[in-house]
Amino acid sequence: MTVCVYTIASGKGGTGKTTTTVNLGTSLAMLGKKTTILDADIGMANMGLLLGLEKSAVTLHDVLSGTADVKDAIYDGPGGVKVVPSGLSLKGFQHSNPDKIKEIMSKLIDGMDYVLIDAPAGISKDGVIPLAVADKVILVVNPELSSMADALKTKALTEMLGRPVEGAILNRSALEKTEINRNKVAELLGIKILEMIPEDANIRTSAAFKTPVVIRTPNAPSSLAFKKLAAQLAGMEFKENGNQKANKEGFVDRLARSIFGGN
Ligand SMILES: Nc1ncnc2c1ncn2[C@@H]1O[C@H](COP(=O)(O)OP(=O)(O)O)[C@@H](O)[C@H]1O
Ligand SMILES: [Mg+2]
């Protein structure tokens, strides 16, 4: 199959872009798809932190400052996903030239089925380039008006760049009392809602354990939604694990739950 580059964007910070990139990427890899996730949020990088790769010797910062080859910044992540983390230092950010992302794309897509790019919030240069190199853009929105407004702006910017918006992921949706529901969001943004990811305390717990929720608690509500979305993008049938109730809770899980909350 030909490779597809998805950029996960939002406009607003904190909507769940990194969480989505990590869990969607891991889910695609677990479906047998060769997948790389790239942390293009070079100023506020936290993909590495979420995956325990924060001490990586070579990061995207080194690549974008011209001192390393991107092939040396690719690490093995959970479920077989390949990960290109960004560095955490401000200095590394200052020396990074986001324009270089365009140059490294051919090496990044080499041999891959999917490349997922975690975009930064905002519409400055480092935010625009990830949109410009995408085959398709996925917007992560929260059911709040401010998130909608920013997503609309990002959608307009994406279209100005001549890139297609595949749809939106409605993250942190509650079953009821959402300020704006699924249909309204689709109508407001003028794009389809690919999937709704529920508010799920397991996401925070899994972050504390530096493991994607789809691996740590594969039957959690958010995990099922991420896996369903991955199957949908890959054109595969989503098979829910038949024995969801058999997800036995061990001592560590119980301890984590009592410390961090969650279900
Ligand atoms: N569906 C969800 N349920 C609960 N917490 C979530 C959910 N999605 C994201 N979060 C939490 O919200 C915060 C922001 O998510 P993150 O993925 O870092 O956003 P962004 O990359 O867009 O800034 C993180 O602490 C994350 O754990
Ligand atoms: Mg982020």
pLDDT tops 70 at residue 235 = yes
Average pLDDT over the chain, rounded to whole?
91
Is the distance from the beta carbon of residue 84 to the nearest atom of ligand 1 less than 6 Å?
Answer: no
Interval 49-98: pLDDT, tens: 999 999 999 999 999 999 999 999 999 999 999 999 999 889 899 999 99
H/E element holding 138? Answer: strand 136-141
Q: Delimit the domains of the chain by residue range.
A: 4-260
Annotate 72-88 with DSSP letters as a single string.
GG-EE-GGG-EEEPPP-
What average pLDDT score do residues 180-203 get? 92
Higher pLDDT, 1 or 232: 232
pTM, 2 dp: 0.90
The model's confidence at residue 106, banded by pLDDT at 50, 70 and 90, is: very high
Cβ-proximal residues to 198 (8 Å cutoff; 6+ apart), any chain: 172, 173, 174, 175, 221, 222, 225
207 CA closest ligand 1 atom index = 27
From the list 124, 126, 180, the residue with the least C-alpha distance to 149 is 180
What average pLDDT score do residues 3-29 get? 96
Domain 4-260 CATH superfamily: P-loop containing nucleotide triphosphate hydrolases (3.40.50.300)
- Site to substitute for ligand 1 among 8, 17, 19, most atoms within 8 A of C-beta: 19
